[in-house]
Chains A and B, each alone.
Chain A
Amino acid sequence: MAIASADTAIRSSSFSRVLIYLVLLLFALFYLLPFGIMLVNSLKPLEEITGGNMVSLPREWTIAPWLSAWSTAQIGVEPTGLRPYFINSIVMAVPAVALSTIVGALNGYVLTKWQFRGATLIFGLLLFSCFIPFQIVLIPMARILGILDIAGTTTGLILVHFVYGIGFTTLYFRNYYAAFPTELVRAAQIDGAGFFQIFWRIMLPSSGPIIAVSCIWQFTNIWNDFLFGASFASGGSAPMTVALNNLVNSSTGVREYNVHFAGAIMAAAPTLLVYIVAGRYFVRGLMAGSVKG
């Protein structure tokens, strides 16, 4: 009896395993389908798409739509392609990610290792900033950018994303550093290290996973942001997302779907790349601190 039941247990487990993988494969295909169609159509001449054949592979392979989207397509009024806006987005995202991560790390360090009166309250307020919807800060932010005379510039956008990101990065680093042994900080104090020396020499070198989490999160949010980009940067300083919208909505002549698809993939590529390169740190970092050991 015991043997028989063990037998069926093994059989049913290998059967359910096949079933699980089948279902997973189906889901993966389902999720990849839109991307596949985008990719396929970005490599077709326009006539094949307008001819009504969106799902099939191209009869004539071409990279012309990609070249066009990158350097010659009409964005608004200028035929510049997406390239300058891609550069805008990089110039905006890299400093904003770096600044918000560093300040978040500093905040987390102070909030956990240099406890002061009201630290919990300040952390609560910072945390609260994570829940404020974008729309609410639009008008006050526009006013501040005006006062600082950086409205409509990439610098202005950097400031907006930097400030908006501090809440999240502080949350990440505070929780990570809360589990970081305080005795290490005390030992460094006795060794004569100062506030910033402890931060640079002891805390940051041990923060790899959480830095990865913070960078991925911030990069994805900032790169994909449309609302702030559309509101605070105009014309030549617009980020990639806004430019993509302009590309698709430019109403001169025929709609070049293949170029639109190519542009959309370009806009999504950096975040995809970041996830592929650093994704495993993301999962590991998110789990860090939640489970002991």
Chain B
Amino acid sequence: MGFLDINNVTKSYGAVEVLHKVDIEVQEGEFLVLVGPSGCGKSTLLNMIAGLEGITSGEIAIRDRVVNGVHPSKRNIAMVFQSYALYPNMTVGQNITFGLEMHGVPKADRDRAMADVAKLLQIENLLDRKPGQLSGGQRQRVAMGRALVRNPDVFLFDEPLSNLDAKLRVDMRTEIKKLHQKLGTTIVYVTHDQIEAMTLSTRIAVMYDGYVQQLGTPKEIYDNPANLFVASFMGSPSMNVLPARLRDLNGEIHAEITGAEDQSLHLRIENAPESYRAYLDAEVMLGIRPEAITDPEGADRNARNIQSLHNTVSVTEPAGADTFVSTTLSGKDCIARMRADADVHPGQAFDFAVNMDKAVLFDPKTEERIG
């Protein structure tokens, strides 16, 4: 039993099932991020936890208390909405204490709680203003204040940063993370931004098409994606997925791909699991993260199996900190992430260093991970 239990929960609208048997157990103090493209069901799931949408089947329990059918205000949750949903006719102070007032907390206690939260979020000087007079970042703080003041069991965030400009989004992201570390609250956070998911969470549930595709720590999700969807959704630029054939050369398994001039290239796979043998001479999808393809000097020194790959560079894109280098492999554009000062030039041949420790294989038909 976790702190927040989602047990085999489904959601249907009429005959259409939009969430299929979701099963997640959240521990106290965890920061769970639900991430996925729009329409994957993540917001629906969050609204079901909040009690704003009904549960078709299954159970949601907070602190071992089943809350199916319990009114949102009785679940001891707080929610931060995408549009902040601040009451336009009330001052910031009234916005923050409205929930306490509705729960019958005496005025003196309300004022004390408001003062604490205002201090925590540094919005003391805004308390008498109306939401219309605040900037986006300030509204975001007030919305969080309104959630914090109730001291709920679970915080729910519905894409809270998507209305902010890029710089403010990064600042607020750090701030939310700090707040979580400081208060140790349990948070369920919905976003479509995989970077937010990676940076904030202690665990991520990647959702697609009403299914939880994978549930795990950011590192597990990133390094060991369960299927092709998770592999390509998480990470920016996304993982290079190349059609390849597994070959047995001298008793060792190699992935065979083709280079820019249709030449065959072989990448040795060390410690290949037995399951790879079933795919010998068959087509597989080889997944390599851009940062696992570098120039030889920039390669990871802890990697045990670095394979050299001689191929033509098609495009270089200097991005300041890194240089992204494109090359054609197996007929597809493949992106390598290199040091800013790597000596690469478009049109020239280059020795790419591929860290095969990090390579993963997928079945092309089921799109599931092999191994």
Contacts and interface: CB of A to CB of B under 8 A. Distances in A.
Main secondary structure of the interface of A (DSSP, over half): helix
Contact of B81 (A187, A192, A193, A197): A187
A15 to B, nearest CB: 43
Contacts of A201: 87, 98
Contact of A190 (B78, B88, B89): B78
Contacts of B50: 186, 190
Counting chain B CB atoms within 10 Å of each CB, which of A188, A191, A192 scores highest? Answer: A191
Contacts of A188: 87, 98
A189 interface: yes
Contact of B85 (A186, A193, A197): A186
A192 B82 CA distance: 20
Given A205-B89, A206-B88, A190 B72 contact: yes
B274 to A, nearest CB: 52
A60 interface: no
Contacts of A186: 50, 52, 72, 79, 81, 85
B103 A187 contact: no
Interface residues of A, number: 16
B77 interface: yes
B67 to A, nearest CB: 13
B83 A183 contact: yes
B217 interface: no
A193 B98 contact: yes
Interface in B40-87: 50-52, 71-73, 77-79, 81-83, 85, 87
B364 interface: no
Given A183-B81, A183-B82, A197-B102, A189 B52 contact: yes
A122 interface: no
A108 to B, nearest CB: 17
B106 to A, nearest CB: 15
B132 to A, nearest CB: 11
Contacts of B146: 187, 191
A183 B99 CA distance: 15
Interface string A205-233: 11000000000000000000000000000
Interface of B: 50-52, 71-73, 77-79, 81-83, 85, 87-89, 98-99, 102-103, 146
